[in-house]
Chain A
Amino acid sequence: MESLIGLLVAAPLLGAAVLLCGGRRLDRTGHWLGTGLAFTSFVLGLVLFADMLGKDGEERALHSHLFTWIPVEGFQADAAFQLDQLSMTFVLLITGVGSLIHVYSVGYMEHDERRRRFFGYLNLFLAAMLLLVLADNFLLLYVGWEGVGLASYLLIGFWQHKPSAATAAKKAFIVNRVGDVGLSIAIMLMFVTFGTFAFEPVMNSVGETGEGKLTAIGLMLLLAACGKSAQVPLQSWLGDAMEGPTPVSALIHAATMVTAGVYLIVRSGAIFDAAPDAQLVVTIVGAVTLLFGAIVGCAKDDIKKALAGSTMSQIGYMILAAGLGPIGYAFAIMHLVTHGFFKAGLFLGAGSVMHGMNDEVDMRKYGGLRKYMPVTFVTFGLGYLAIIGFPGLSGFFSKDLIIEAAFAKGGTQGWILGGAALLGAALTAYYMTRVMLMTFFGEKRWEADAKGDMPHPHESPKTMTIPMIVLAIGSVGAGAFFDIGERFVHWLEPVTGFEHGHLPDGLSVPMVTGATVACMVLGVAAAWLQYGRRPVPAAAPRGSLLTRAARRDLLQDDFNHVALVKPGEYLTRGLVYLDHKLVDGIVNGTAAAFGGLSARMRRVQNGYARSYAVSMFGGAVVLIAATLLMRAV
């Protein structure tokens, strides 16, 4: 069984290599090869899963040591895998949802001449993400971590001829690199503290060192997680990443990439459990981001950017839960899985809408689409109900558990975090209802595209609708399936640990659930009053100060521009000037003082011979002086 773990990664990696190096002759079949290899990986995952279910909870972890990667005195990095319940959950999500997105892309990218390459990149994405979740040490995880960054760079910038896409791709990679610095430093700290950075020995010896070091490691891991999972303050790349083809957004937001930060924190749970200060910062980042993303999501007219804001917010919930420790780890991952279903479904639905609307993304130019795209409407609608937490659907269970756990943190902190999570639930209901109403209900506000063609909305082909249907089923049923009998918690408990949170006095579970549902209803009602009862204006109204700020992503880019980009430009320009004038000048000038070299350099047409002679002479003087000095010393 252990040897299958390597194959899990190897299958999509092989696909990437073949598709990217294979050349034109694979243009006709390449996409099916890529899809097939993604499914192969999924099937391998299922086989391993079945095998795992046959064992007791504590003995389910598999280890597979491939080879010693970097053997240097006192430092050892292995290429070794570890498959436990946590990794298994991710494997099934990545390969399962990933395979569906492959199928969808066959239809979505049908008319793109570089489809083969697209599938190569998709395979690379899966391989990198699988490596990330299967590594048994932080350095190998780092390889997958940056591999994911590379794959997202290639996919976000897939339409490279568009300068906006190329810029967005570069931005994503560079912002992620800032996070990667955190991961580097965390690994270095682990190395000097524990002499290793493999999961097991590090987690087992957490108790041997002081809280200060652990807090530092925790904060650095959080920085890394912020980059990959688009959490404040490293969130700015996510909205721009919508420049990529829509299946890419589904892949980044549901199955891969942004979930990596949550994985990292849950995987390092032992470190965070022993560093409460770091945990507190994690919960704050989560709470701030869940509100930040939700507010941005409320203001966007671009359907993909509205969904991007939503992702940021939902990942915020997961990070918040992960920061709560053993009362939250399992819920963070559970929400991650249910979110994987409905967010992938929502993005694929958005892509389907765009497909039928001449690639229009502005929701103000949609309207009344439910009649024209019934399958898309129903599947998107189910995803919508799931994400707002409609009772009985997936999001209801997983989100409610996080809100309860937030209150259960206790004290003022619990009230603040729980309150933020409740407010987030209301905002989620608001912005998602807004998306739903603007897209599928109301008047038709369609406009001709740049070429003058009016859109003729139509249902998408089967390759696109079938994945949407499968994901909709998951959006509906996964939450209840996981929650009944605490199945999901029992499954993860041997890895992440679990404690029941205790709500503060005066609160009970039904009260929190009731409040969550009430918030949801309020959000839906507010959106309906604004966008359902009255016609949607085709041009966006000016809006309040907050609306305008939210449209500009709460001024994140303006802030980065003023605080980082501009000063950076001045710094580099200044240094270029100084390097030429000052450093070069001083060194040349110093040389001139010793032997008139600089003057010779300016008169190069005199040939180098004379300069040579002068410098030889200068050298000889130095030489004699040095010899005399040696004698004297």
Chain B
Amino acid sequence: MADSSFPLLTLTAAVPAVGAIATAAVPAAKRELAKRLALGVSLVTLVLAAVIAVRYDPNGDRFQLTESRSWIADFGVRYELGVDGIAVVLVALTALLIPFVILAGWHDADPTGKQSSRWRPTQGFFALILAVEAMVIVSFLATDIFLFYIFFEAMLIPMYFLIGGFGDKAHEHGEEEAARQRSYAAVKFLLYNLAGGLIMLAAVIGLFVVTNDQLGAGTFSLQEILQARADGDLEISTNTERLLFLGFFFAFAVKAPLWPLHTWLPNAMGESTAPVAVLITAVVDKVGTFAMLRFCLGLFPEASDWATPVVLVLALVSILYGALLAIGQRDMKRLIAYASISHFGFIVLGIFAMTSQGHAGATLYMVNHGISTAALMLVAGFLISRRGSRLIADYGGVQKVAPVLAGTFLIGGLATLSLPGLAPFVSEFLVLVGTFSRYPAIGIIATVGIVLAAIYVLVLYQRTMTGPVAEKVAKLPDLRAREMLVVAPLIALLIGLGVYPKPLTEIVNPAVEHTMSDVQKSDPEPDVNPVEAAHE
């Protein structure tokens, strides 16, 4: 199973990549064909991701389905792919969400009267989404650090065009202002992430230099470096390791995003269309937290340990700050963006708590946050497209005119506030308990986040959905069939994974054990061993 002759992983990344090119090439008049093609490609990718999940053996090697080819031999860069349990579930999440993103954005890029002269916006929109999917998948699959870096950076380009080129049809300040703000948001997104990426590049090269010095030949291979560290062949001096760690961590903290590097996210999510906002927060940002877990902890365990106090505080600040800012928002998309910042705080907290529960929780959190935010954001997008406003104050009483829309919005909201029984509760509780067992004070402060989450979700619901029916809301239609097709499966997943998360934990657990041994940590023991106590 370790070395498969069939390049399944390459194929999984190649399908959306080729699909993107094909979608872009569809003639201008055949818009619908482009949409169907993109949807079909994303579904094929989903099937391939499912095959990966099935073929992955939780009891097998750490990295499976591996592929390895020489690429830039002079610099030791290889085309190396492989999956561990964490990568499997995140690839699955990505492949799962893209069809919903495409379906939800079905009409988002239809040319309006004024824009008809533009060059095939519909084809471009869906091609860019597929391109992002391909790049994200490669980032999850790559076990060569340089390969990872290239795709980590390259995905900024299609994202830049998705944010800057496509926005909500209506804007409270008019079309011109909307275009200006979109443009600002896109450039801000690009520059923040580019800055992070460049600093990481320095660290990537630094790592090459170190391996070159110590191993005789420089390498970017994660597996080789992990092996060398385990065997004691590679000993990075304390200062160097810390600098390299910071270089990597900075890039991932921008992408995640962690306070205080978060300010690009509300702009980007607010100005882009709801499906693109989902793409940003539920898919692209996950590469940041994934990479913290895989690269920061795996490559630089001692420096990770050294940085833990600061990172935990930043994560805690993100949790509370993001939630408080969410309460203060007037724009529902920005509210969801700040809620995401709070949730990313939980993920980072789980990663740096360095416990099995924290790591498993953080990994599940990435998946569950993806699904719950997609549900909430996409329904919000349906609502915004009906009324033509993102401002919470423009709504009221929607529950009366569109009960199904309101009901699904509520479920998305309840998932966001981690109601037990829905999937996010499992991951949030694991993160909290994993943090608490090592850092009780931080764990306790973090629980304040669950009260704040209840406030921002329920205030949002109250102001938009309840009360007297607002003007211009009275005639809003309820969810249509296509929209139900987007929302219903997401809700089913939220309930299913909340009640029975075992299929995910089974895949994730072995990978968590490996990471725990990378960082040479073991879980704190309970004061009382109940098994022994029972025997006494």
Chain A interface residues (CB < 8 Å from chain B): 20, 67-75, 79, 139, 142-143, 145-147, 150, 153, 157, 160-163, 165-167, 170, 173-174, 177-178, 180-181, 184-185, 187-189, 191-196, 201-202, 204-205, 208-209, 213, 568, 571-573, 575-576, 579, 583-584, 586-587, 591, 594-595, 597, 600-601, 604-605, 608, 611-612, 615-616, 618-620, 622-623, 625-627, 629-631, 633
- Distance to closest chain A CB from B165 (angstroms): 12
Whether the pair A188, B436 counts as a contact (CB closer than 8 A) is yes
Apart from A71-B502, A162-B467: 4 A-B pairs, beta carbons within 8 A: A68-B502, A184-B447, A192-B440, A622-B199
CA–CA, A630 to B204, complex, Å? 11
Q: Which residue of A lies closest to B418 (CB)?
A: A146
Whether the pair A572, B462 counts as a contact (CB closer than 8 A) is no
Whether the pair A576, B329 counts as a contact (CB closer than 8 A) is yes
Instruction: Please name all residues of chain A whose beta carbon is closer than 8 Å to the beta carbon of B187 when the two chains form the complex.
Output: 600-601, 604, 608, 611
- Candidates B188, B467, B523; contact of A74 at CB < 8 Å: B523
Whether the pair A584, B195 counts as a contact (CB closer than 8 A) is no
Tell yes or no: B221 within 8 A of A by CB. no
Instruction: Please name all residues of chain A whose beta carbon is closer than 8 Å to the beta carbon of B357 when the two chains form the complex.
Output: 72-75
- Candidates A72, A150, A157, A193; contact of B466 at CB < 8 Å: A157
List the 10 closest A-B pairs by CB distance, nearest first.
A619-B198, A195-B526, A166-B466, A626-B202, A73-B356, A572-B328, A205-B533, A143-B420, A576-B328, A201-B530
Whether the pair B206, A627 counts as a contact (CB closer than 8 A) is yes
- Distance to closest chain A CB from B240 (angstroms): 5
Q: How large is the interface on B (under 10, 10 to 19, 20 to 34, 35 or more residues)?
A: 35 or more
Instruction: Please name all residues of chain A whose beta carbon is closer than 8 Å to the beta carbon of B444 when the two chains form the complex.
Output: 185
Whether the pair A208, B443 counts as a contact (CB closer than 8 A) is no
Tell yes or no: B354 within 8 A of A by CB. no
CA–CA, A55 to B176, complex, Å? 79
The answer to whether residues A170 and B459 also contact, given A67-B500, A188-B443 and a CB cut-off of 8 A, is yes
Q: Which residue of A lies closest to B182 (CB)?
A: A604
CA–CA, A591 to B188, complex, Å? 11
Q: Which residue of A lies closest to B410 (CB)?
A: A154
Q: Mark B499-536, 1 if CB is under 8 A from A, else 0.
A: 11110011001001100100000011111111001100
Whether the pair B454, A174 counts as a contact (CB closer than 8 A) is yes
- Distance to closest chain A CB from B372 (angstroms): 15
- Distance to closest chain B CB from A137 (angstroms): 12
Whether the pair B426, A70 counts as a contact (CB closer than 8 A) is yes
- Distance to closest chain A CB from B255 (angstroms): 14
Whether the pair B526, A194 counts as a contact (CB closer than 8 A) is yes
Whether the pair A633, B239 counts as a contact (CB closer than 8 A) is yes
Instruction: Please name all residues of chain B whose beta carbon is closer than 8 Å to the beta carbon of A202 when the two chains form the complex.
Output: 530
Q: Mark B143-184, 1 if CB is under 8 A from A, else 0.
A: 000000000000000001000000000000000000010011
Stretch at the interface among B31-39, B93-101, B376-384, B427-435: B427-435
Instruction: Please name all residues of chain B whose beta carbon is closer than 8 Å to the beta carbon of A146 when the two chains form the complex.
Output: 419-421
CA–CA, A568 to B326, complex, Å? 13
The answer to whether residues A74 and B356 also contact, given A157-B466, A204-B534, A633-B240 and a CB cut-off of 8 A, is yes
Tell yes or no: B205 within 8 A of A by CB. yes
- Distance to closest chain A CB from B470 (angstroms): 12
Whether the pair A626, B527 counts as a contact (CB closer than 8 A) is no
Instruction: Please name all residues of chain B whose beta carbon is closer than 8 Å to the beta carbon of A166 when the two chains form the complex.
Output: 462, 466-467
The answer to whether residues A622 and B468 also contact, given A193-B526, A194-B526 and a CB cut-off of 8 A, is no
Whether the pair B199, A604 counts as a contact (CB closer than 8 A) is no
Tell yes or no: B49 within 8 A of A by CB. no
Instruction: Please name all residues of chain B whose beta carbon is closer than 8 Å to the beta carbon of A631 when the two chains form the complex.
Output: 209
- Candidates B180, B195, B260, B534; contact of A586 at CB < 8 Å: B260
- Candidates B184, B190, B451, B527; contact of A194 at CB < 8 Å: B527
- Distance to closest chain B CB from A186 (angstroms): 11
- Candidates B201, B436, B506; contact of A623 at CB < 8 Å: B201
Whether the pair B505, A72 counts as a contact (CB closer than 8 A) is yes
CA–CA, A194 to B526, complex, Å? 6
- Distance to closest chain B CB from A389 (angstroms): 38
Instruction: Please name all residues of chain B whose beta carbon is closer than 8 Å to the beta carbon of A187 when the two chains form the complex.
Output: 433
Q: Which residue of A lies closest to B435 (CB)?
A: A188
Whether the pair B448, A181 counts as a contact (CB closer than 8 A) is yes
Instruction: Please name all residues of chain A whose beta carbon is closer than 8 Å to the beta carbon of B180 when the two chains form the complex.
Output: 604
Q: Which residue of A lies closest to B525 (CB)?
A: A195
Instruction: Please name all residues of chain A whose beta carbon is closer than 8 Å to the beta carbon of B368 when the two chains form the complex.
Output: none
Q: Mark B183-194, 1 if CB is under 8 A from A, else 0.
A: 110111011101
Instruction: Please name all residues of chain A whose beta carbon is closer than 8 Å to the beta carbon of B328 when the two chains form the complex.
Output: 572-573, 575-576
Chain B interface residues (CB < 8 Å from chain A): 160, 180, 183-184, 186-188, 190-192, 194-195, 197-199, 201-203, 205-206, 209-210, 237, 239-240, 243, 247, 259-263, 321, 324-325, 327-329, 355-357, 360-361, 397, 399-400, 407, 414, 419-421, 425-426, 429-430, 432-433, 436-437, 440, 443-444, 447-448, 450-451, 454-455, 458-459, 461-462, 465-469, 499-502, 505-506, 509, 512-513, 516, 523-530, 533-534
CA–CA, A146 to B516, complex, Å? 32
Instruction: Please name all residues of chain B whose beta carbon is closer than 8 Å to the beta carbon of A184 when the two chains form the complex.
Output: 429, 432, 447, 450
- Distance to closest chain A CB from B293 (angstroms): 15
Pick from A70, A145, A194, A591 the residue with the most CB of B within 10 Å.
A70
Pick from A165, A205, A594 the residue with the most CB of B within 10 Å.
A205
CA–CA, A576 to B323, complex, Å? 11
- Candidates B194, B205, B327, B468; contact of A612 at CB < 8 Å: B194
Instruction: Please name all residues of chain B whose beta carbon is closer than 8 Å to the beta carbon of A139 when the two chains form the complex.
Output: 429
Whether the pair B459, A73 counts as a contact (CB closer than 8 A) is no
CA–CA, A281 to B190, complex, Å? 56
A-B contact pairs, 23 of them (CB 8 A): A67-B502, A72-B356, A74-B355, A170-B459, A174-B455, A188-B433, A188-B443, A192-B526, A568-B327, A571-B324, A587-B263, A597-B195, A604-B183, A604-B187, A608-B186, A615-B195, A618-B198, A619-B199, A620-B198, A622-B198, A626-B243, A627-B206, A633-B239
Whether the pair B458, A623 counts as a contact (CB closer than 8 A) is no
CA–CA, A181 to B529, complex, Å? 26
Q: Which residue of A lies closest to B527 (CB)?
A: A193
Instruction: Please name all residues of chain A whose beta carbon is closer than 8 Å to the beta carbon of B421 when the two chains form the complex.
Output: 143, 146-147
Whether the pair B534, A201 counts as a contact (CB closer than 8 A) is yes
- Distance to closest chain A CB from B490 (angstroms): 15
Instruction: Please name all residues of chain A whose beta carbon is closer than 8 Å to the beta carbon of B467 when the two chains form the complex.
Output: 160-163, 166
Whether the pair A170, B458 counts as a contact (CB closer than 8 A) is yes
Q: Which residue of A lies closest to B508 (CB)?
A: A72
CA–CA, A540 to B198, complex, Å? 73
- Candidates A68, A145, A587, A626; contact of B206 at CB < 8 Å: A626
Instruction: Please name all residues of chain A whose beta carbon is closer than 8 Å to the beta carbon of B237 when the two chains form the complex.
Output: 633
- Candidates A71, A145, A213, A629; contact of B527 at CB < 8 Å: A213
Whether the pair B454, A173 counts as a contact (CB closer than 8 A) is yes
Pick from A204, A587, A626 the residue with the most CB of B within 10 Å.
A626
CA–CA, A177 to B458, complex, Å? 12
CA–CA, A208 to B444, complex, Å? 24
- Distance to closest chain B CB from A113 (angstroms): 11
Instruction: Please name all residues of chain B whose beta carbon is closer than 8 Å to the beta carbon of A73 when the two chains form the complex.
Output: 356-357, 360, 509, 512-513, 516, 523
CA–CA, A353 to B360, complex, Å? 55
Pick from A69, A139, A160, A584 the residue with the most CB of B within 10 Å.
A160
CA–CA, A571 to B513, complex, Å? 41
- Candidates A75, A147, A193; contact of B433 at CB < 8 Å: A75
Q: Which residue of B lies closest to A75 (CB)?
A: B357
